[in-house]
Amino acid sequence: MNEKSLPIDREKHRIYSDPARRAVRRMLMHYAPKAQVGALWNRVQKRFCELLRDAPPFGQIPHSGQFYDAVLFFAYFDTTEDLPPREVIQQEVYSSFMASFDTIGKAVNANRVQHNLLIAGIFKLSVASKRKQFEQNSEWFEPTECTYDAGRGIVRYSFLRCPIADFARKHGFLAYLPYMCNCDHMGLQKIHAGLVRTSTCGVGDVCNYAIAGDRSSFYSEYVTVKDENGLLLSVRREDADDIPKRYGSLL
């Protein structure tokens, strides 16, 4: 089906992005039976439209594309039996969500003081924007204040509500949510930054962020682990002996 003809309420919602469409179609073409690719893509689009009927009206919110891309991926997972390996799915979701970091990383390095300051300013602006949007639509991201520790070069903020996590929980897609959450780690790595995150809205009450250069003493205090669903989380290095009991693997 042509995206222009999809039966969605355009005043409430928007269509998924071109990178998300290309990502899902690549996975279908490489891992689904060739003769079924066209029919499966139509099924994914149909399921996307069905899911939007029970989604909050985020279409007019600036930068809401990631929510609609996430719904497309959920529709793909929900209608397709021949899924690729986890690492392939993760890379395709990243290519939709945060591929721009590949280019940004060629010029930005979070370990440099001037770039670290720039990154802090950008995140402060982003969090302030989301706060305004949340005040207009309480089902959107609910951020806390963004702070910057200039002495250690650490940006900190958190979300008390994430619409993608809310949607995943409501529709039974929590097992797939790590593909979206892990993109934060992957994107920040491209700009030579490390994300310390001990919780997300999918597994707890808050999604917390502490971002610093990947060569900083702060980032070295933590190790990154995967839980049973593949979600990347941070654990203090001094607690590493307990990791095998709590998580599936240490990265």
Q: Terminal CA-to-CA distance of the chain, rounded, Å?
A: 41
Checking if the pLDDT of 251 tops 50, the result is no
Question: Is the pLDDT assigned to residue 204 strictly greater than 70?
Answer: yes
| Averaged pLDDT, 47-69 | 96
Vertex 56 angle, CA 55 and 62, to 5°: 120
- Res 250: pLDDT: 45
- On whether the CB atoms of residues 52 and 16 are closer than 8 A, the answer is no
Length reported for the chain = 251
* pLDDT for the residue 182: 98
Amino acid at 63: H
Q: Give the pLDDT confidence score for residue 249 in this predicted structure.
A: 46
pLDDT at 238: 83
pLDDT at 246: 53
Would you list the domain boundaries of the chain? Answer: 3-97, 108-250
Mean pLDDT of 43-72: 96
pLDDT at residue 145 greater than cutoff 90: yes
- Is the pLDDT reported for residue 138 higher than 70? yes
Single-letter amino acid, residue 235:
V
What percent of the chain is modeled with pLDDT above 70?
95
Alpha-helical regions (H) of 153-206: 163-171, 177-190
In the structure, what pLDDT confidence band is assigned to residue 40 with cuts at 50, 70 and 90? Answer: very high
pLDDT tens digits along 205-229: 999 999 999 999 999 999 999 998 8
pLDDT at position 180 is 97
Q: Quickly count helices (H) and strands (E) in the chain.
A: 10, 8
Residue 51 is inside which H or E element, if any? helix 37-52
151-171: pLDDT as tens digits: 999 999 999 999 999 999 999
Task: Give the 3-state secondary structure of residue 82.
Answer: coil
Higher-pLDDT residue of 202, 2 = 202
What pLDDT score does 242 carry?
62
Cβ atoms of 140 and 193 within 8 Å: the answer is no
Percent of the chain with pLDDT over 90: 90
pLDDT at 208: 97
Per-residue pLDDT at 64 exceeds 50: yes
Q: Which token pair is 16?
A: 């998924």
Higher pLDDT, 224 or 246: 224
Q: In this predicted structure, what is the pLDDT of residue 2?
A: 83
